[in-house]
């Protein structure tokens, strides 16, 4: 059986590299990227997921920072 590789990571439309081990959850990913969970949406394999969603087995992770303010 082939071992799963690291997922593809896209941040604000640009491909990024996951350094070290892949994070266990969306929350861990955002912390590693120094992005506040209140400022970003995370899509895992095409679906928006909450902070506590596990990333094990994910193939594509997209971080989309949300612009807000006055």
63 lies in some domain: no
Q: What does the pLDDT read at residue 67?
A: 79
Q: How many domains does the chain have?
A: 1
Q: What does the pLDDT read at residue 25?
A: 96
Q: What does the pLDDT read at residue 24?
A: 93
* Single pTM value for the model: 0.85
1 lies in some domain: no
Q: Which residues of the chain have pLDDT under 70?
A: 1-4, 69-70
For residue 49, give its domain range: 8-53
60 lies in some domain: no
Alpha-carbon gap, residue 17 to 49, rounded angstroms: 20
Q: What does the pLDDT read at residue 1?
A: 45
3 lies in some domain: no
């Amino acid at each position: 059986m082939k071992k799963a590789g690291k997922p593809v990571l896209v941040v604000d439309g640009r491909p990024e590299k996951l350094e070290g081990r892949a994070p266990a959850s969306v929350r861990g990913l955002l912390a590693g990227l120094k992005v506040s969970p209140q400022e970003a949406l995370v899509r895992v394999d095409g679906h928006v997921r909450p902070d506590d969603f596990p990333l094990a087995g994910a193939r594509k992770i997209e971080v989309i920072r949300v612009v807000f303010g006055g």
